[in-house]
Structure 1
Amino acid sequence: MSDNIKVSVIVPAHNEEKYVERCIDSVNRAATRVKCGVEIIVVCNRCTDRTAELALARGARVVTDESRCIATVRNTGIKAARGKVIMTIDCDNRMTEDTIREVLGMLNSGRYIGGGAPLRFERYSFPLWLNDMMCRAGFKLTGLYCGIFWAEKSTFEAIGGFADKKAGEDIATAKNMRAYGKKLGKRYGCLRRNHLINSTRKYDDMGDWLYFKLIFKNAVAMIKAALGDRTDYDKLMDELFYDYNGK
């Protein structure tokens, strides 16, 4: 069975019993559109709910990692992967149905070292539309698309996996992958026909202006972090990501 697995989809999860089934279902739908084997690895991170039970019932493999660093959690999943191709997606998000097929097509072309995917919110309002426009502009300017990462496992191994950072690991990893690809004459790409369906649960819980408010409220913490003192910034990351168990 493992000989047929070509794609491993890594799903980090911290108490995600409300979302794990729909995430896995989206991956399984995408898996039906390709002829190779696809495994789903849910990396349970400090879970105290039914995440692991529900993931196993949906046919996923489950591994555990107790660290408080998303990069380490993802790297644990990559190490456990049996596939040649690695994809990552957060547990509260979903992928569109031809995502895996497009990824394989881009990698098989030989032009891409790996890449990311565009983000689209699962619902929209005026502040979420503004947030979306900011994300699109940032991705367009930098070319460092994130959300769903994809590359061969050997590529992740060559760059040392996800960058060992508590926050901003996605951008750092994209930079590392792009630099590695440049040495091989390959590009860091972005899916064109598929996208990440981005969860709005934090906005549902704390309001659609959430990130705009956070920028103003925590401007001092962000400046201090840029100058080397990450104490307040790391507390904010814990609150928003590592300890968050909202709706």
Structure 2
Amino acid sequence: MIGIIVPAHNEELYLDDCIKSLIAAASHEDLSGEAVEILIVLDDCSDSSAQIARAHGVHTHPCNHRNVGMTRAAGARRMLDRGARWLAFTDADTVVPYAWLAEQIAFGADAVCGIVQVDDWSEHTPQVRERYDALYRPVDDHRHIHGANLGVSSEAYLRAGGFKALAAHEDVHLVADLERIGARIVWTARNSVTTSARKHCRCKEGFGDYLNSLATQTLLG
């Protein structure tokens, strides 16, 4: 079984599109009918995120961590307990391509680090987008790490010690631990996901805060 884990904190505006894309990816013919289970980890949600998830028939797990590392780890534990051999992680404000899972599995690696793209820059100035494009490398062997586009074998995840209880950069620390144990990591640009560039982001020091920092640098520069 392949397990998909999505942390969500009040994501009613984005979650429907996210889940629809995951259901499509789970049906890819190259997965040869292997079971795929989608888990939305509802972290202190007070909006309609739970109802949206349940309307799609996917698994949900409520928690009150308000800590993305703990939330991802809780989701991973649940999928491991259900027998997942591969763990795929994305975010609730993200849409994955149809081949997202199939390409992760096809690499035959211990872990796959993918890239992200933004299709709506309306909350930012053109200067922010220009600075982002100048700094970001959407190519193979890129070395970008995104919790919104990450896959890891269950065996490697456990050997690396899993996600730490960190409020930010939990994905970076996991990949560092995977490197420490000698895991084979693929850094691919083939299966880019589309994520939100919203200013009011859910995770401090995450992708949204990075974009906000570019705005500050643009003003100072």
TM-score (norm 2): 0.81
Counterpart amino acid of residue 72 in structure 1 = M
In the alignment, residue 162 of structure 2 is paired with which amino acid?
G
**5+ residue gaps in structure 1?**
1-5, 218-247
Q: Distance in 1 between matches of 2:131 and 2:3?
A: 34
One of 40, 51, 54 as aligned partner of 1:56: 54
Q: List per-residue Cα deviations over 1:105-157 (Å, max 9, x = no partner).
A: 012xxxx22021111112354422421432328x966x253231101122222
5 Å-filtered alignment, 1:61-80, equals 61-80=59-78
Cα deviation per residue 1:22-45 (whole Å; 9 max; x = unaligned)? 000111111111321111100000
How big is the shift at 1:101? 0.5
CA contact (8 A) 1:144 1:175 kept: no
CA distance in 1, matches of 2:14, 2:4: 16
Structure 2 residue identity aligned to 1:201: R
The one-letter amino acid of 1:191's match is T
Partner of 1:211: 213
Unaligned runs of 5+ in 2: 202-207
Structure 1 residue runs of 4+, over 6 Å off?
none
Percent identity between matched residues is: 22
Q: Which amino acid aligns with 2:36?
A: V
Asked whether the equivalents of residues 120 and 132 of structure 1 are also in contact (C-alpha less than 8 Å), the reply is: no
CA distance in 1, matches of 2:133, 2:52: 31
Higher relative contact order (CA 8 A, sep 6+): 2
Residues 159-238 of structure 1 aligned to structure 2 (within 5 Å):
159-180=160-181, 182=182, 186-202=183-199, 210-214=212-216
Indicate the residue corresponding to 1:230 in structure 2.
none
Whole-angstrom CA distance in 1 between matches of 2:62 and 2:13: 18
Q: Which moved more, 1:79-88 or 1:125-134?
A: 125-134
Query: Are 2:41 and 2:63, in contact at CA under 8 Å, matched by a contact in 1?
Result: yes
TM-aligned CA distance change 1:177 to 1:215, over 3 Å: farther
CA distance in 2, matches of 1:214, 1:154: 41
CA RMSD for the aligned pairs? 2.7
Matched positions, count: 201
1:48-70 per-position Cα deviation (integer Å, ceiling 9, x unaligned): 11101110111210001211210
User: In the alignment, which residue of structure 2 is the partner of 1:90?
Assistant: 91
With over 3 angstroms needed to count, the CA separation of the structure-2 counterparts of 1:47 and 1:214, relative to structure 1, is farther
**Is the CA contact 2:73–2:164 (under 8 Å) kept in the aligned structure 1?**
no
Q: Which amino acid aligns with 2:24?
A: R
Query: Does structure 2 retain, via aligned residues, the 8 Å contact 1:29–1:97?
Result: yes
**Structure in which a larger fraction of residues adopt helix:** 1
**How many angstroms apart in 2 are the aligned matches of 1:129 and 1:36?**
41
TM-score (ref. length: structure 1): 0.73
Q: Which range is displaced more, 168-177 or 194-203?
A: 194-203
